[in-house]
Structure 1
Amino acid sequence: MSGDGAARRPVTRNFYGRRHGKQLRPAQRAYLEDLETFALRGVDWDANPDRRPLDLGALFGGRPVWLEVGFGGGEHMVHQAAGTPGVGIIGCEPFINGVAMLMGKIRAAGVENLAVHPGDVRDLFDVLPAASLDRVFLLYPDPWPKKKHHRRRFVTPEYLVPLARVMKPGAVLRVATDIPDYVRQALEQVPRHGFDWLAERPADWREPWDDWMSTRYEQKALREGRVPHYLTFRRR
């Protein structure tokens, strides 16, 4: 097989999260019809076998581009899109029930400066141009609490190396989590991959960002007595 043919072979990756949950209600299935409007083109191999970089300028009209990794139910993503119409926001979420919830919130809010990749963020990293993102959100990611599963966490080289490639120098990465061990791993690994932690005082990680909207995952953590942490990093 030629080198060109080998380059076009899809990458096989292990995926450990959930793609489906409870059966969708009729209204949620109806919301998913809107996905055709917001789905990000050119991420899957069939549509882009050469792995050409996405044209984000054409997608968002030259606006700054933000990314939310694992948007859950989509409440924070829609909040940011409505509050900052001058940016384009890409949301990545493989859990189809969460995608359906997002579509419902988009319809209710009437926002349009969004694009959605309903799949693995690593596939998105493959086709994002270098130094193309101005801000990235990682909010209450799957904690993978067992030690043998820590390698599945986002704050590992498998994710942080391509993340650093697609973020502009000076771009901001926000991480919110209620898991102390996840905080520890983030503070160990993220700076090793080209980021500076911006905290100068305890309030910088104990208090949320000024434009923060608490998510349902955070509300659950608070009900169960866990303490949120808000980490801000800047790409060197």
Structure 2
Amino acid sequence: MTDTKHPSGAPWRNFYGRFKGKTLRSSQKEYLESDLAALSPGAVSWEDNPERTPLETQALFDGKPIWLEIGFGGGEHLVHQAQQNPDVGIIGCEPFINGVAMLLGKIRDAGVTNLRVFPGDARDMFDVLPAGSVEKAFLLYPDPWPKKRHHRRRFVTPEHLDPLFTCLAPGAEFRVATDIPDYVRQTMIEVPRAGFEWLAERPSDWRTPWGDWISTRYEQKALRENRVPHYMTFRKPA
């Protein structure tokens, strides 16, 4: 459904996740009030950018290559990558405000300056990222939506993958991690269908974490519950 009566002019997009969880601590509220605006990548939301003017990505990080993390959870992987790659600028998208507050605290503690944070739906970010502007993207332990009737809500559907493919530069890498076998199956069907190449040549390529990986709290939960992580690496053809 693309027609809309929304005052902002935004297309109607169903959102099935959570925007807020338990009550924020006073320190987390302070992070949101003091730090979030300064870390904004620019006008992304429909209210702020109804014309959908593309972000000036070259100015955003002084010409550094841009990476994107979709749904950063508590932000530990995002901060880790920023620390390990100071010559890269990374944008994180996360609509769950508790996760955003957690990330802001980690950014303060780490002192990294090459991150930007969008507290909203990644689809809005796709609208304003110029085509071919992102050189690496991460989708790590996304919401599994385990019931079969809910599989259409997963990220690995054309609604998300097609605009992501457009935003990525030729040769860009797309990493997906999940511990849900059926999510692996759907990923292996839908991501190549969207135009990506799967880079695995042997079982260890999807059983072994990436060399720069940091295990997230979601992965630690999966391991405690004896679920097996899968690490899938795709590439947009050059």
**Are 1:26 and 2:26 an aligned pair?**
yes
Q: Quick check: 214-223 or 24-33, which moved more?
A: 24-33
The superposition leaves residues 41-63 of structure 1 with CA deviations (integer Å, 9 ceiling, x where unpaired) of 11012221211110000101111
In the alignment, which residue of structure 1 is the partner of 2:13? 13
* CA–CA separation in structure 1 for the residues paired with 2:9 and 2:218: 37
* CA–CA separation in structure 1 for the residues paired with 2:154 and 2:73: 16
Query: 1:70-109 maps to which residues of 2 (within 5 A)?
Result: 70-109=71-110
* CA–CA separation in structure 2 for the residues paired with 1:151 and 1:64: 32
**Are 1:214 and 2:209 an aligned pair?**
no
Query: 1:48-59 maps to which residues of 2 (within 5 A)?
Result: 48-59=49-60
In the alignment, which residue of structure 2 is the partner of 1:157? 158
Counterpart residue identity of residue 50, structure 2: P
The superposition leaves residues 172-226 of structure 1 with CA deviations (integer Å, 9 ceiling, x where unpaired) of 0000000000000000010011100000011100000000000000000000000
Q: Quick check: 203-212 or 42-51, which moved more?
A: 42-51
Residues paired across the two proteins, number: 230
Shift of 1:140: 0.1
Shift of 1:73: 0.2
* CA–CA separation in structure 2 for the residues paired with 1:86 and 1:53: 23
Tell me, which stretches of 5 or more residues in structure 2 are unaligned? 1-7
Shift of 1:28: 1.1
Tell me the TM-score normalized by structure 2: 0.95
* CA–CA separation in structure 2 for the residues paired with 1:49 and 1:93: 20
Counterpart residue identity of residue 200, structure 2: A
Matched residue SS, 1:37: helix
Counterpart residue identity of residue 131, structure 2: A
Counterpart residue identity of residue 93, structure 1: E
The superposition leaves residues 63-108 of structure 1 with CA deviations (integer Å, 9 ceiling, x where unpaired) of 1100000000000000000110000000000000000000000000
Counterpart residue identity of residue 170, structure 1: G
Query: 1:115-126 maps to which residues of 2 (within 5 A)?
Result: 115-126=116-127
**Are 1:133 and 2:119 an aligned pair?**
no
* CA–CA separation in structure 2 for the residues paired with 1:9 and 1:91: 24
Tell me, which stretches of 5 or more residues in structure 1 are unaligned? 1-7
Counterpart residue identity of residue 169, structure 2: K
Q: Among the aligned pairs, what percent are the same residue?
A: 68
In the alignment, which residue of structure 2 is the partner of 1:3? none
Preserved CA contact (<8 Å) 1:41 1:47: no
Preserved CA contact (<8 Å) 1:140 1:178: yes
* CA–CA separation in structure 2 for the residues paired with 1:44 and 1:191: 29
Preserved CA contact (<8 Å) 1:172 1:233: yes
Shift of 1:40: 2.1
Moved over 2 A (4+): none
